[in-house]
């Protein structure tokens, strides 16, 4: 699976659970797969397409959660 559609998010606990739910909702709406991986600092959220990654980045921003391209 391609890794170029990934974001590293610094979140834990309930924030991380919230982001997993948002990632699932975004991916389901776009009919694509998503997954998470461990990163050195934070959690890597990956999507099959760039549009879903961009929507997830906007969601992180609206929630005040820092994310960056991996």
Distance CA 24, CA 18 (A): 10
Distance CA 8, CA 45 (A): 6
pTM of model > 0.75: yes
Exposure letters 7-16 (e unless 16+ CB within 10 A, then b): bbbebeeeeb
8 Å CB contact between 55 and 26: yes
Distance CA 23, CA 20 (A): 5
Taking only the tens place, the pLDDT of each residue in 2-31 is 457 999 999 989 999 999 999 999 999 999
Q: Which domains does the chain have, with CATH numbers?
A: 6-69 (3.30.70)
């Amino acid at each position: 699976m391609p890794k170029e559609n990934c974001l590293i998010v610094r979140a834990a606990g309930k924030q991380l659970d919230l982001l997993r739910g948002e990632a699932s909702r975004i991916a389901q709406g776009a009919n694509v797969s998503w997954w998470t991986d461990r990163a050195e600092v934070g959690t890597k959220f990956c999507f099959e397409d760039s549009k879903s990654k961009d929507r997830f980045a906007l969601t992180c921003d609206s929630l005040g959660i820092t994310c960056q391209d991996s």
